[in-house]
Amino acid sequence: MPWGRIAGYFRPYAFLLAGVIGSIVLGSLLGLVQPLLIRGIIDRAIPQRNMVLLSELTGLIVTTALASAAVGVLQGYLNARIGQGVMFDLRNEMYRHLVRMPLQFFTNTKTGEIMSRVNNDVNSLQMVVSDTVANSLRNVISVVITVATMFALNWQLALLSLVILPLFIVPTRRVGRMNYNLRKRSQEKLADLSALMQETLGVSGILLVKTFNKEPSEVERFEAKNRELMEAQMRQSLVGRWFFMMLTTISTAGPAIIYWYGGRLVMGDAMTLGTVVAFTAYLGQLYGPVSALANIHVNVMGSAALFSRLFEYLDKPVEIEDRPGAVDVGRVRGQIQFENVYFRYRPGGEWVLRGIDLTIEPGQLVALVGPSGAGKTTLSYLIPRLYDPEVGRVTLDGHDLRDVTLSSLHGQIGVVTQETFLFHASLRDNLLYAKPDATEEEMEAAAKAAYIHDMIQGLPDGYDTLVGERGYKLSGGEKQRIALARVILKNPRILILDEATSALDSHSERYIQAALQPLFQGRTSIVIAHRLSTILRADQIVVIDGGRVVEKGTHRELLARGGLYARLYAEQFADQEAGQPVDGESALERDLNVAGGGQG
């Protein structure tokens, strides 16, 4: 376990840790005073019938108790400040790292698993980072000071007390290892449960559960995973209980031995009764911290499992990041080139893109068409560097995208994905996400351009209307138009539309098509084609099949070649002539993944 790495999270709080150590030393010294005061009462004040001395000693006992309590309050504050600070830093580091992870990480990892690590695992560390460090320091300091005081009182009794200390320490390593494994398993089961809830209790998930009448089976699945979690946590809670029972027994037997041996010394006038009583009190101050240290070791080993789970994520490489010396691309013309690009989602897997050579000139509207799974969406993902090609390169105005800073690249690109995502916030907040400093006039102009302004104005709260989780209070067409308004407000130099109009009815589509015409002008636009009207408008049509560019050209050029595009268009024309659309859509829309096909 990288203990040095864990300790690094405490270094920013070195000053506070020094305060904790100081308060621990002071508290331990105050704790040593009371047994000595009790010895004075037993050996001097009571035998001498000295009321003044008795009052002074009892008063000092109360005073030291109050002082010790005050020091404890200070120490508690410092502990909390350090612990919460470390957790704050851990959460921030985890989130900063996660948002930099490549898109593939999120497609391969359950959202509930990610949330469990950020929330459950970090929260479970609260006790360790808040209390364990301070308790360990306090107990170590207390043991050292107590042992020194015990030897000063009577070295024979001190040695007798230390003989049984190994019984506290020896079993801790094995018990700690067991707790590590069980704690890790418990957190894995908790992550599984969180992932299940994330999937089934979200709006999309619960809609699927209800419409397929799966409530009973999902309840059974939840109860099964919940039972696995309960059993794992039960095993964790029971680990080492026999060990802790032994510690309790030893803690009880120790004072008994001291009373037996010390009593013999008192009977032989070799020691005063007050010294024996004081020594027994010190014995409690010795065995208590030693037992606590053994317990802390077991708990720390369990918490090490949590750190290991966090480090698993923190150590995952950030595959898409700025190269050393990456440049700010500035305002671009918008020329995009794919040069012999090969791409696959995992090493050794099937190529998704194969030898793509494509040039998109500034200001061009390019329509990507092809069957579902042909690689259209993957190709579009390479432009904002959501992925990097394994072979070849993608350039923007001649710059390899890997030599350009991500922030400047993303500042030039606007994307409308095939699945519109809206935050559970107001319409205003969702629109201003593209440009937080936009004026009211700019925001409304963007909404008007997307033909959504009138609908928003008709709502009771207007632009302050909450859209619900993932925008489920809006229709599919309304969500698409909000997404278009958002990218219009950003005003990017390069526009990528991935099936952006697939959810629109014919009435809304006419308005959107009208809005897209000026939006396309003056900027480079890449559209994964949805409708024939978009394809016909394109300056260049790129036909992709099997991860390759099989045809490219204008509508008339491709028809004249009689290839794949011409065949698909002929099917479209034949259907229109017959007046019998296939399943409510044209054959071209179906084959080109126009009206709801999967990610291509």
pLDDT digits 0-9 by tens, 206-217 = 666 766 667 788
CATH number given to 3-314: 1.20.1560.10
Answer whether residue 36 shows pLDDT above 90: no
Topology match between the domains 332-412+493-507+522-600 and 420-491: yes
**What average pLDDT does this structure show over 433-455?**
89
- Residue listed under structure tokens 């020691």: 271
Tracing tokens 């699927």 back to the chain, one arrives at 208
Q: What is the pLDDT of residue 242?
A: 61
In the predicted structure, residue 599 carries a pLDDT above the cut 80 = no
The pLDDT value given to residue 586: 39
pLDDT at 542: 93
Most confident range (mean pLDDT) of 1-10, 474-483, 586-595 is 474-483
Q: Determine what percent of the chain is predicted with pLDDT higher than 90.
A: 17
pLDDT score at 189 = 83
At 335-391, the pLDDT tens digits run 999 999 999 998 888 999 999 999 999 999 999 988 778 889 899 999 999 999 999
Q: What is the Cα–Cα distance from 479 to 416, expressed in whole angstroms?
A: 11
Q: How many residues does the structure list for the chain?
A: 600
In the prediction, which pLDDT does 549 show? 94
Residue 200 has pLDDT above 80, yes or no: no
β-pairing, 399-400 vs 540-545, is unpaired
Backbone angles phi, psi at 158, to 5 degrees: -65, -45
Q: What pLDDT shows up at residue 432?
A: 92
> Which three-class secondary structure state does DSSP give residue 30?
helix
Q: What is the pLDDT of residue 573?
A: 39
pLDDT above 60: residue 598: no
Residues 478-496: what's their mean pLDDT? 88
Q: Tell me what pLDDT residue 480 has.
A: 82
> Would you say residue 11 has pLDDT above 80?
yes
pLDDT at 440: 93
pLDDT the model gives residue 211: 61
Q: Please name the residue that has the structure tokens 């449960």.
A: 193
- Residues 536-589: tens digit of each pLDDT: 888 999 999 989 999 999 888 998 898 888 887 776 534 533 443 333 333 334
Q: What per-residue confidence (pLDDT) applies to 469? A: 75
pLDDT in tens, 96-142: 888 888 888 888 888 778 887 887 777 777 766 666 666 777 778 77
Q: What is the DSSP pairing of strand 353-360 with strand 336-343? A: antiparallel
What is the overall mean pLDDT for the chain? 80
Distance of alpha carbon 421 from the chain centroid: 20
Higher-confidence residue of 568 and 56: namely 56
pLDDT at 249 over 80: no
- How many C-beta atoms lie closer than 10 Å to residue 43's C-beta? 16
Q: Could you tell me if 5 and 93 are in contact, meaning their C-beta atoms sit under 8 angstroms apart?
A: no
Tens digit of each residue's pLDDT (9 = 90 or more) over 320-330: 889 898 999 88
Nearest Cα residue to 488 out of 499, 477, 500: 500
Percent of the chain clearing pLDDT 70 (strictly above): 81
More confidently predicted of 34 and 360: 360
Instruction: Give the pLDDT of residue 298.
Output: 64
227 vs 517 pLDDT, higher one: 227
CATH architecture, domain defined by 332-412+493-507+522-600: 3-Layer(aba) Sandwich (3.40)
DSSP assignment of 383-423 equals TTTSS--SEEEEEETTEEGGGB-HHHHHHTEEEE-SS----
Tell which wins on pLDDT, 31 or 437: 437
Cα–Cα distances (Å) from 323 to 101, 314, 403, 404, 554, in that order, read 15, 20, 6, 8, 37
Contacts of 185 (CB under 8 A, 6+ apart): 232, 236
3-state DSSP of 225-288: HHHHHHHHHHHHHHCCHHHHHHHHHHHHHHHHHHHHHHHHHHHCCCCCHHHHHHHHHHHHHHHH
CA distance 141 to 155: 20
Q: Provide the pLDDT confidence category of residue 493 given band limits of 50, 70 and 90.
A: very high
Mean per-residue pLDDT for 296-308? 70
Torsion of CA 25, 31, 32, 38, to 10 degrees: 170
Collapsed DSSP state (helix, strand, coil) of residue 341: strand
Q: What's residue 220's pLDDT?
A: 86
Q: Where are the domains of the chain?
A: 3-314, 332-412+493-507+522-600, 420-491
Superfamily holding 420-491:
P-loop containing nucleotide triphosphate hydrolases (3.40.50.300)
Neighbour tally for 73: CB within 10 Å:
10
Q: What is the pLDDT of residues 129-187, one digit of tens each?
A: 666 666 777 778 778 888 888 888 778 778 877 776 666 666 666 666 676 677 778 77
Residues 6+ apart with CB under 8 A from 85: 12, 13, 16
